[in-house]
Structure 1
Amino acid sequence: MSAGAASGFLVIGHRGARGHAPENTLLSIDIGIKLGAHWVELDVQQLGDELLLMHDLRLDRTTNGRGLLAEYTFEELRRLDAGQGQQIPTLQEALDLVDQRVGVNIELKTWGGCASAVARVLRDYLADGWPAERLQVSSFHLPELWEFRQLLPEVPVGALVCGVPLDWAGAAAELGAASLNISDEFVDDKLVTDAHARGLKVYAYTVNHPDDVRALRAQGVDGIFTDFPDRALKAIGGR
């Protein structure tokens, strides 16, 4: 997950560019790219045969719908407003919009089949010429991530954690992950050192203050997820 940043420090647009447009929409993704993000991060949930971009299991916060996403049909979900008149997009629509302009980190938000469904979609995009190194799949649900790794080992994975594991970066290394993606609240010097010693990158989420961006970079973190890619790039002297 290193392509796209001349400085070696990745700025990853969180849910597209969540600070500028409704999250996980095509508008947010497009704005994130136009603001100069090296990568964009998207949240994916499985609904039957479809993969939809949505962070929460419930619709209330990000759409004009109510209740659980899983209680709706695909057609009903597509009629909802995800903000500023945007639809809830499919993973394929998002990838088609990106069109290899930046890298894409896909976070699995559900399990029990989501890994397999995402692998099927990405296999088609790889066959159409997408470089595997411009994709990454991440999750807090490490068994689901392990399943994805078995199905499509050429696509790198990122182990998500919200805290400092007892074995430092050990579980991520055992998984064969390319990166450890950790909450900025828990970035620990020993964890960064251990991850790097195991050949892992460290990416921190969600970092929106310029001072925090600069501090994490000085601490050895390899990149950040941010709602404001433009602020982060300015903080590190980029575009």
Structure 2
Amino acid sequence: MDRAAPTYVEETRFGFWFLQSHTWQHHVLRVAINDLLRLIDPPLPERPVLLDAGCGQGKSFRLLADAFQPVRLIGLDADPHSLDCARAEAGRQSLDVELIASDCAAIRLPDASVDLLFCHQTFHHLVEQEKALAEFSRVLKPGGWLLFAESTKAYIDTWVIRWLFRHPMHVQKSADQYLGMLRRQGFVFDERNVSYPYLWWSRSTDFGLLERWGLRRPKPFGQREETLVNAAVRKPLEAAAR
């Protein structure tokens, strides 16, 4: 099957199944969107153009539509089969979604055409990460928001994730490294715009079972290697003059 990205790393059968599951939609996507909403400095853009970069099977569409009330909702993915599933999902939800088969490193949208760009659990799949961030900046309007939610190397490199899923391991990064990439690309944000969720499904090695059974105490913030990072970062307004 032709892919829109030459560097696309095909997901496992388990991974493709999991991305259409109730767990993914309600315990991963929904939780991330709620957290990112909290991280955005008010006011929210009114009737925004919203791009879901790496939309997969479209399970985010209803959640994004309810949270942001976009005037235009665009889903982008490099996998044609995922886009077929996303088209069917949009139909089931009675949503008007524009779907684009595209690489995140070469987005087929005009400059400064997007108000909000949602990139959830997509970046660790991308080989050309710097190019993708440059494209995100290009398509965002000055003052537009990139809603960035990622699993870090500390999670992706665990045995269970490597066994169940497929990722380009040489590009995995820590939370600090991802935030550094965002800053180098010119996105602006403060501590209030960043969170480090410590959710049960992201606990390395055991999904937090030992902690739930009282066999191990959870490590406090600052004493653990973060497995998740969420950030609401903004393209500077002065970018309009460049």
TM-score (norm 1): 0.33
TM-score (norm 2): 0.33
Instruction: Give the structure with the larger helix fraction.
Output: 2
